[in-house]
Protein backbone atom coordinates (compact mmCIF):
# COMPACT_ATOMS: atom_id res chain seq x y z
CA UNK A 1 0.00 0.00 0.00
CA UNK A 2 1.29 3.46 -0.89
CA UNK A 3 0.26 6.83 0.47
CA UNK A 4 0.38 10.32 -1.02
CA UNK A 5 1.16 13.33 1.17
CA UNK A 6 -1.65 15.90 0.93
CA UNK A 7 -0.60 18.15 3.78
CA UNK A 8 2.04 20.81 4.22
CA UNK A 9 2.52 19.76 7.82
CA UNK A 10 4.42 16.53 7.33
CA UNK A 11 8.15 16.06 7.01
CA UNK A 12 7.70 15.30 3.30
CA UNK A 13 6.45 17.82 0.71
CA UNK A 14 2.92 17.51 -0.59
CA UNK A 15 2.66 15.05 -3.44
CA UNK A 16 5.33 12.70 -2.13
CA UNK A 17 4.35 9.05 -2.38
CA UNK A 18 5.37 7.00 0.63
CA UNK A 19 5.38 3.34 1.51
CA UNK A 20 4.23 1.88 4.80
CA UNK A 21 7.89 1.40 5.67
CA UNK A 22 8.44 5.15 5.30
CA UNK A 23 5.57 5.72 7.71
CA UNK A 24 6.49 3.00 10.18
CA UNK A 25 6.73 5.48 13.07
CA UNK A 26 3.40 7.14 12.22
CA UNK A 27 -0.23 6.38 12.97
CA UNK A 28 -1.31 6.06 9.34
CA UNK A 29 -5.00 5.73 10.22
CA UNK A 30 -4.91 9.03 12.13
CA UNK A 31 -3.00 10.76 9.34
CA UNK A 32 -5.55 9.58 6.79
CA UNK A 33 -8.40 10.72 9.05
CA UNK A 34 -6.75 14.11 9.31
CA UNK A 35 -6.39 14.24 5.52
CA UNK A 36 -2.62 14.46 5.74
CA UNK A 37 -2.33 11.26 3.69
CA UNK A 38 -4.44 9.61 1.03
CA UNK A 39 -4.09 6.09 -0.29
CA UNK A 40 -2.65 5.81 -3.76
CA UNK A 41 -4.77 3.71 -6.06
CA UNK A 42 -2.66 1.20 -7.85
CA UNK A 43 -2.97 1.62 -11.59
CA UNK A 44 -3.69 -1.50 -13.60
CA UNK A 45 -2.30 -1.66 -17.07
CA UNK A 46 -4.91 -1.69 -19.82
CA UNK A 47 -2.50 -3.40 -22.18
CA UNK A 48 -3.18 -7.03 -22.77
CA UNK A 49 -0.26 -9.35 -22.40
CA UNK A 50 1.32 -10.20 -25.71
CA UNK A 51 -0.19 -13.34 -27.24
CA UNK A 52 2.06 -16.29 -27.57
CA UNK A 53 2.91 -17.00 -31.18
CA UNK A 54 2.81 -20.67 -31.92
CA UNK A 55 5.46 -21.81 -34.35
CA UNK A 56 3.90 -22.43 -37.70
CA UNK A 57 4.67 -26.03 -38.51
CA UNK A 58 3.37 -25.72 -42.03
CA UNK A 59 5.90 -23.08 -42.88
CA UNK A 60 8.46 -24.31 -45.30
CA UNK A 61 11.96 -24.48 -44.16
CA UNK A 62 14.29 -22.39 -46.25
CA UNK A 63 15.94 -24.36 -48.95
CA UNK A 64 19.56 -25.00 -48.54
CA UNK A 65 21.62 -23.20 -51.07
CA UNK A 66 24.89 -24.48 -52.42
CA UNK B 1 25.49 30.44 28.08
CA UNK B 2 22.95 32.64 26.42
CA UNK B 3 19.51 32.87 27.84
CA UNK B 4 16.71 31.65 25.61
CA UNK B 5 13.67 33.53 24.42
CA UNK B 6 11.26 31.05 22.88
CA UNK B 7 10.18 32.23 19.46
CA UNK B 8 10.28 29.20 17.20
CA UNK B 9 9.77 26.00 19.13
CA UNK B 10 9.04 23.12 16.80
CA UNK B 11 6.32 20.75 17.94
CA UNK B 12 5.65 17.62 15.90
CA UNK B 13 2.88 15.26 17.00
CA UNK B 14 2.28 11.97 15.27
CA UNK B 15 4.50 13.16 12.45
CA UNK B 16 2.51 16.40 11.98
CA UNK B 17 4.14 19.78 12.56
CA UNK B 18 1.61 21.91 14.44
CA UNK B 19 4.11 24.49 15.72
CA UNK B 20 2.26 27.47 14.23
CA UNK B 21 -0.86 26.55 16.23
CA UNK B 22 0.83 26.04 19.60
CA UNK B 23 1.59 28.88 22.01
CA UNK B 24 2.93 27.05 25.02
CA UNK B 25 4.93 23.91 25.68
CA UNK B 26 6.12 22.24 28.85
CA UNK B 27 8.14 19.06 29.08
CA UNK B 28 7.93 17.85 32.63
CA UNK B 29 10.30 15.04 33.53
CA UNK B 30 9.54 13.42 36.86
CA UNK B 31 10.68 10.31 38.63
CA UNK B 32 9.00 8.38 41.38
CA UNK B 33 10.65 8.82 44.71
CA UNK B 34 11.52 5.47 46.24
CA UNK B 35 12.49 5.46 49.87
CA UNK B 36 15.44 3.29 50.86
CA UNK B 37 15.74 4.22 54.51
CA UNK B 38 16.98 1.38 56.66
CA UNK B 39 17.97 0.82 60.25
CA UNK B 40 21.06 2.72 61.09
CA UNK B 41 20.34 5.63 58.74
CA UNK B 42 20.35 8.99 60.43
CA UNK B 43 17.88 10.40 57.92
CA UNK B 44 15.60 9.21 55.14
CA UNK B 45 17.39 8.02 52.01
CA UNK B 46 15.84 7.88 48.59
CA UNK B 47 16.53 6.79 45.02
CA UNK B 48 14.80 7.67 41.77
CA UNK B 49 12.22 5.16 40.65
CA UNK B 50 10.34 4.98 37.38
CA UNK B 51 10.10 7.98 35.11
CA UNK B 52 6.62 9.51 35.10
CA UNK B 53 6.82 12.45 32.73
CA UNK B 54 4.27 14.51 30.87
CA UNK B 55 3.91 16.93 27.99
CA UNK B 56 1.73 20.03 28.27
CA UNK B 57 0.70 22.03 25.23
CA UNK B 58 -1.57 24.97 24.51
CA UNK B 59 -3.16 24.71 21.07
CA UNK B 60 -4.96 27.31 19.02
CA UNK B 61 -7.97 25.42 17.77
CA UNK B 62 -8.48 25.20 14.02
CA UNK B 63 -11.14 23.08 12.32
CA UNK B 64 -9.75 23.44 8.78
CA UNK B 65 -8.56 20.44 6.79
CA UNK B 66 -5.33 18.91 8.12
CA UNK B 67 -5.13 21.44 10.94
CA UNK B 68 -5.42 21.03 14.71
CA UNK B 69 -8.78 19.32 15.18
CA UNK B 70 -8.29 17.03 12.18
CA UNK B 71 -4.88 15.99 13.50
CA UNK B 72 -5.50 15.59 17.22
CA UNK B 73 -9.09 14.30 17.11
CA UNK B 74 -8.17 10.89 15.62
CA UNK B 75 -5.36 10.48 18.17
CA UNK B 76 -7.53 10.79 21.29
CA UNK B 77 -7.47 7.58 23.27
CA UNK B 78 -4.33 6.36 21.56
CA UNK B 79 -0.66 7.14 21.53
CA UNK B 80 1.32 9.58 19.43
CA UNK B 81 5.00 10.14 18.92
CA UNK B 82 6.19 13.65 19.69
CA UNK B 83 9.27 15.70 18.98
CA UNK B 84 10.04 19.08 20.51
CA UNK B 85 12.77 21.24 18.99
CA UNK B 86 13.41 24.40 21.07
CA UNK B 87 14.87 26.26 18.07
CA UNK B 88 12.60 24.89 15.35
CA UNK B 89 12.57 21.68 13.39
CA UNK B 90 14.95 23.10 10.76
CA UNK B 91 17.78 23.37 13.30
CA UNK B 92 19.73 20.14 13.64
CA UNK B 93 19.97 18.66 17.10
CA UNK B 94 23.15 19.50 18.96
CA UNK B 95 24.42 19.96 22.47
CA UNK B 96 23.16 23.54 22.49
CA UNK B 97 19.98 22.80 20.52
CA UNK B 98 18.64 19.55 21.94
CA UNK B 99 15.55 17.76 20.72
CA UNK B 100 13.19 15.95 23.02
CA UNK B 101 11.20 13.00 21.77
CA UNK B 102 8.99 10.23 23.04
CA UNK B 103 5.45 8.95 22.97
CA UNK B 104 2.43 10.40 24.74
CA UNK B 105 -0.91 8.89 25.61
CA UNK B 106 -3.51 11.30 24.28
CA UNK B 107 -5.80 11.16 27.27
CA UNK B 108 -7.67 14.42 26.87
CA UNK B 109 -8.79 16.84 24.21
CA UNK B 110 -10.92 19.94 24.43
CA UNK B 111 -12.40 20.47 21.01
CA UNK B 112 -13.95 23.80 21.95
CA UNK B 113 -13.03 26.14 24.75
CA UNK B 114 -13.35 29.87 25.31
CA UNK B 115 -15.69 32.71 26.10
CA UNK B 116 -17.08 35.42 23.91
CA UNK B 117 -14.33 37.34 22.19
CA UNK B 118 -11.61 34.87 23.13
CA UNK B 119 -9.28 32.87 20.97
CA UNK B 120 -10.38 29.24 21.08
CA UNK B 121 -7.59 27.30 22.73
CA UNK B 122 -7.08 23.78 23.99
CA UNK B 123 -4.72 23.23 26.89
CA UNK B 124 -3.69 19.63 27.43
CA UNK B 125 -1.37 17.61 29.61
CA UNK B 126 -0.60 14.17 28.28
CA UNK B 127 1.35 11.52 30.17
CA UNK B 128 4.47 10.19 28.51
CA UNK B 129 4.58 6.49 27.70
CA UNK B 130 8.02 5.25 28.69
CA UNK B 131 10.81 7.77 28.80
CA UNK B 132 11.66 11.07 27.16
CA UNK B 133 14.76 10.96 24.98
CA UNK B 134 17.02 13.97 24.63
CA UNK B 135 18.79 14.09 21.30
CA UNK B 136 21.95 16.12 20.92
CA UNK B 137 23.02 14.91 17.51
CA UNK B 138 25.93 13.03 19.04
Q: Report the pLDDT value the prediction gives residue A25, as an integer from 0 to 100.
A: 82
Distance from C-alpha of A19 to C-alpha of B78, rounded to nearest angstrom = 22
CB within 8 Å: A31 and B15: yes
CB within 8 Å: B70 and A34: yes
Q: Report the pLDDT value the prediction gives residue A4, as an integer from 0 to 100.
A: 96
The answer to whether B11 touches B82, Cβ cutoff 8 Å, is yes
Nearest Cβ partner for A34 among B17, B74, B79: B74
List, for residues B56-97, the tens digit of each pLDDT value.
999 999 999 999 999 999 999 999 999 999 999 999 999 999
Distance from C-alpha of B102 to C-alpha of B84, rounded to nearest angstrom = 9
Q: A63: exposed, middle or buried (C-beta count within 10 Å: 0-12, 13-18, 19+)?
A: exposed
* Interface predicted TM-score (ipTM) over 0.90: no
Q: Which of B15, B20, B70, B88 is the best substitution to test chain A (most A C-beta atoms within 10 A)?
A: B15
Report the predicted TM-score, pTM, of the whole model to 2 decimal places. Answer: 0.83
Looking at CA atoms only, how far is residue B65 from chain A in angstroms? 7
Domain spans of chain B, in order of start: 10-30+49-135
Q: What is the CA radius of gyration of chain B?
A: 18
Distance from C-alpha of B84 to C-alpha of B11, rounded to nearest angstrom = 5
Q: Report the pLDDT value the prediction gives residue A58, as an integer from 0 to 100.
A: 58
Residues of chain A short of pLDDT 70, as ranges, are: 44-66
CB within 8 Å: A23 and B18: no
Amino acid sequence: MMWRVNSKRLAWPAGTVLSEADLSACNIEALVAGEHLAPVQEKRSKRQPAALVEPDESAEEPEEQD
Amino acid sequence: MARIVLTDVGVVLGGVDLSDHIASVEISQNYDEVETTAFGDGGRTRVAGLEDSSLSLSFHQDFATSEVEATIGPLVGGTAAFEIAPFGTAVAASGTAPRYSGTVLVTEWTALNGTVGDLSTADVTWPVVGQIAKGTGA
